[in-house]
Amino acid sequence: MAARAWQSLNFIQVFDVLREQTVCRMAVTEADGQPWCVPMEYQMEVAGREVIFHVGSRGEGRLAEAVETNYAVCLEVERPGCGWLDTVIITGRVAAIISVESGGAVLLIHAEEISGRRYFTPDG
């Protein structure tokens, strides 16, 4: 398989992707070392130089168990275009787990590193 051409996204492009999208893929590592990835809805909060992601969760199950033993997470957000795909990767830590009245929880994830790339399709 041939490598796709790509270019780095600048700060503004990265935050455009994060503002426009509402779904991410969240990757965690379970206690036995098994990686696991699940689609999640998110909201982003910017407080000064800090970026915090609010990610909804049922508050139980594999995800809840994984973040209890390992707070490190990775989020991936995509924005498709005509002939390209923007991808933003966020690495960070779960800073808090907040229970909500309706059941479930909200994970507060403090971003430690955010980067983005635009991948071009072979025809694009």
Q: Please tell me whether residue 13 adopts helix, strand or coil conformation.
A: helix
Domain 6-120 listed as CATH 2.30.110.10? yes
Position 124 pLDDT exceeds 60: no
CA atoms within 13 A of residue 13's CA, in its CB half-sphere: 15
Domain boundaries, the chain: 6-120
Alpha carbons 112 and 114: distance in angstroms, whole number: 7
**Mean pLDDT throughout 91-112?**
91
- For 15, list phi and psi in degrees, rounded to 5: -70, -25
Position 1 pLDDT exceeds 60: no
Position 123 pLDDT exceeds 70: no
Confidence of residue 40 (pLDDT cuts 50, 70, 90): very high
0.75 surpassed by pTM = yes
Element (H, E) at 67: helix 62-69
